[in-house]
């Protein structure tokens, strides 16, 4: 792996599987402490439940200490430049975890930090989430070549990371996304050109989920887009994951959502709380996979 973990595109196929294996190991071997005596600075420009808690718990379980910094306190890129923040935090800490709006801030932190920088979500991507999702798909016995993952909803940071994964690992990724809400074009084109996976955009969600092994959705209104909420609910209303849509998928389909969910918008209670839902495993797996990432990058395991 590189010094940092900013996107799934930086990983080789074998590194992805090494991370899954290391996550398995760290899940059971509680006495492994590769972060003993180390500290991790965490800067969050946006709210978080899962990412913050799973990183903090993960650092503690690996023997280290996390320092949570709100953006009000740090003023990343405003009170001082990302370069200055990166330089200073590198003098005190062994890694920087950052959740930012503008992905460029992560690139700037990465350029100037002498310690590993980990992407905890940006407007562009959410790599830790999608690795945890892959781990969850494997946990539920669905990870095989060309497993059909049907994503229904907004072409956002989650989709960009799915596309980056599809450039490395063979899956069948079908995106049911309305016009005007497509994912990042460069990342999409790269996924197509890599020729590793079958990647397609199908506008009709019922066709998209046909015979799917996995149906995945995410909020229609990501953090930072709150002023567009009314328009988005209107534009996405046909893209709800509900019981009727799930009946088009395979009988043993699993339902995934990175959370937080907006119940009654992108997903119904029936789908989110139903027997097919694995959303709480996804949340738990953030811990295991991020421990693996930190053990590799910071603990040099």
Q: Can you give the three-state secondary structure of 232-282, one letter per residue?
A: HHHHHHHHCECHHHHCCCCCCCEEEECCCCCECCCECHHHHHCCCECHHHH
Active site residue 172: no
| Residue found under tokens 């990412």 | 51
Out of 54, 222, 240, 282, point to the residue binding ligand NVA (CB under 6 A): 222
How many residues form the binding site for ligand NVA (CB under 6 A)? 10
Residue 209 or 256 having the CB closest to ligand CP:
256
Active site residue 240: no
Identified catalytic residue from 99, 232, 257, 288: 99
Residue 51 or 277 having the CB closest to ligand CP:
51
- What single string gives the DSSP state of each residue in 176-231? E--TT----HHHHHHHHHH-SSEEEE-S-HHHHTTT-SEEEE--SS-TT-GGGHHH
Neighbours of 246 (CB within 10 A): 21
Give the residue ranges of DSSP H helices in 34-176: 50-61, 71-74, 82-92, 103-112, 127-139, 157-166
Residue 268 touches which of ligand CP, ligand NVA, none (CB < 5 to 8 A by kind)? Answer: none
From the list 67-75, 152-160, 182-190, 291-299, the region that binds ligand NVA by CB under 6 A is 152-160
Active site residue 218: yes
Q: Please, how many CA atoms are within 13 Å of residue 227, restricted to the half-sphere of its CB?
A: 1
From the list 60-68, 105-113, 150-158, 288-296, the region that binds ligand NVA by CB under 6 A is 150-158
- The answer to whether residue 218 forms part of the interface with ligand NVA (CB under 6 A) is yes
Can you give the binding site for ligand CP, defined by CB under 6 A? Answer: 48-51, 121, 129, 258-260
Neighbours of 160 (CB within 10 A): 27
Residue 90 or 277 having the CB closest to ligand CP:
277
Active site residue 99: yes
For the four alpha carbons of 212, 255, 282 and 261, in that order, the dihedral sign comes to positive
Residue 76 or 113 having the CB closest to ligand NVA:
76
Q: What is the distance between the alpha carbons of residues 284 and 184, in angstroms, rounded to a whole number?
A: 28
Neighbours of 200 (CB within 10 A): 12
Residue 49 touches which of ligand CP, ligand NVA, none (CB < 5 to 8 A by kind)? Answer: ligand CP
- The answer to whether residue 160 forms part of the interface with ligand NVA (CB under 6 A) is no
Min separation Cβ 50 and ligand CP, Å = 4
Identified catalytic residue from 50, 103, 126, 172: 126
From the list 218-226, 232-240, 246-254, 286-294, the region that binds ligand NVA by CB under 6 A is 218-226
Which of 174, 134, 75 is closest to 288 using CA atoms?
134
Out of 107, 223, 233, 301, point to the residue binding ligand NVA (CB under 6 A): 223
Active site residues: 99, 126, 129, 218, 258, 286
């Amino acid at each position: 792996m590189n010094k940092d973990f900013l996107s799934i595109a930086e990983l080789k196929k074998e590194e992805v599987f090494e991370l899954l294996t290391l996550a398995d190991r760290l899940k059971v071997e509680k006495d492994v402490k590769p972060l003993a005596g180390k500290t991790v600075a965490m800067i969050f420009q946006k709210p978080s439940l899962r990412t913050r808690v799973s990183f903090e718990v993960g650092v503690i379980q690996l023997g280290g200490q996390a320092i949570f910094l709100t953006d009000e306190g740090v003023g990343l890129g405003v009170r001082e430049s990302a370069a200055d923040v990166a330089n200073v935090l590198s003098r005190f800490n062994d890694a920087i975890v950052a959740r930012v709006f503008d992905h460029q801030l992560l690139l700037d932190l990465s350029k100037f930090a002498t310690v590993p920088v980990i992407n905890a979500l940006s407007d562009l991507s959410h790599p830790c989430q999608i690795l945890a999702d892959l781990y969850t798909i494997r946990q539920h016995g669905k990870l095989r070549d060309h497993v059909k993952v049907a994503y229904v909803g907004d072409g956002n940071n989650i989709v960009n990371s799915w596309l980056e994964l599809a450039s490395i690992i063979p899956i069948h990724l079908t995106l049911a996304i309305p016009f005007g809400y497509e994912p990042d074009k460069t990342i999409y084109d790269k996924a197509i050109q890599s020729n590793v996976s079958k990647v397609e955009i199908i506008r009709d969600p019922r066709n998209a989920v046909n015979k799917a092994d996995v149906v995945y959705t995410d909020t229609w209104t990501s953090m930072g887009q709150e002023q567009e909420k009314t328009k988005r609910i209107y534009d996405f209303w046909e893209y709800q994951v509900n019981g009727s849509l799930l009946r088009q998928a395979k009988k043993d389909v699993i339902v995934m959502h990175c959370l937080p969910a907006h119940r009654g918008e992108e997903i119904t209670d029936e789908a989110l709380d139903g027997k097919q839902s694995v959303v709480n495993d996804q949340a738990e797996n953030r811990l295991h996979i991020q421990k693996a990432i930190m053990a590799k990058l910071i603990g040099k395991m």
